[in-house]
Amino acid sequence: MPLWKTTAYNLTESDIRYAMSNSKSNRAAAMFLKVSLPTYRKYAKLYIDNESGKSLYELHKNMSGVGIKKRFPYAYSGKHGVASILRGEQPEYPSRQLKKRIIKEGFKAECCESCGFSERRVNDYTVPLILVWIDGDKTNHLLDNLLLICYNCFYLTQSDLFNRRADRIDFKGYRDEN
C-alpha cells in the first residue's frame, strides 16, 4: 500500500473502484487508499464509467450525504447554533460536545468517513468514532476541518491510537469540495 501523501503512485481503475465500494464519499475513498484527496481526484477523474458516462469521481460524489439526517431547524440560529461553531465563531467550544452535535444535528452521518463503519454498541447505541481535526488545531471547528473516523481506521492511519504524537498526523488534502 502507498504511504501518506505519496505523489508518484499510480492508481488503476480497479483501485479506485475498490476504494469506492469501501467508502461513501471521495474523501473517504482517498483515505481508504491512503492517498491525498487531490491525488485520488486526479485518477478518479481519469476513468469514465461506461454505464453513466460520468467520471468515477463524479459518480462517487453523489454518494456523499447519503444517510445524513435532516438538519435540525435550530442548528442555524443563535449564538449556540452548531452552524455558528462550524463557521469557526466558537473556537473554545468543547470537542466532546461538538462531536455529539454534528452527528445529532445532521452535519455528518454517524459513520466512519473512511470505511463507512456504522456498527452500534449495545449499551448506548452509539458508533465508536473519533473526531479528527484535519489541520491538527483542535480549536479550528470549521466543518471542512473535521473528520469522523472509526477506531480501526484511526489505528491504521496513525502510529499509535493512544500516542499524543498522533495529533500531528497530517490530514491536509482530505477536505472534500462540498
d(CA 10, CA 86): 35
Contact 131, 108 (CB under 8 A): no
Least distance in angstroms from the C-beta of 48 to Zn ion = 28
Does 114 engage in binding with Zn ion (CB under 5 A)?
Answer: yes
Binding mask 51-90 for Zn ion (x = CB under 5 A): ----------------------------------------
Give the angle subtended at the CA of 115 by the CAs of 111 and 121, to the nearest 5°.
45
Q: Which stretch binds Zn ion (CB under 5 A): 4-12, 33-41, 51-59, 149-157?
A: 149-157
Tell me whether residue 11 or residue 147 sits nearer to Zn ion (CB atom).
147
According to the binding rule CB under 5 A, does residue 115 interact with Zn ion? yes
Interface with Zn ion, residue 112, by CB under 5 A: yes
Q: Is 117 in the site for Zn ion (CB under 5 A)?
A: yes
Closer of 116 and 173 to Zn ion (Cβ):
116
Q: Rule CB under 5 A: which residues touch Zn ion? A: 112, 114-115, 117, 150, 153
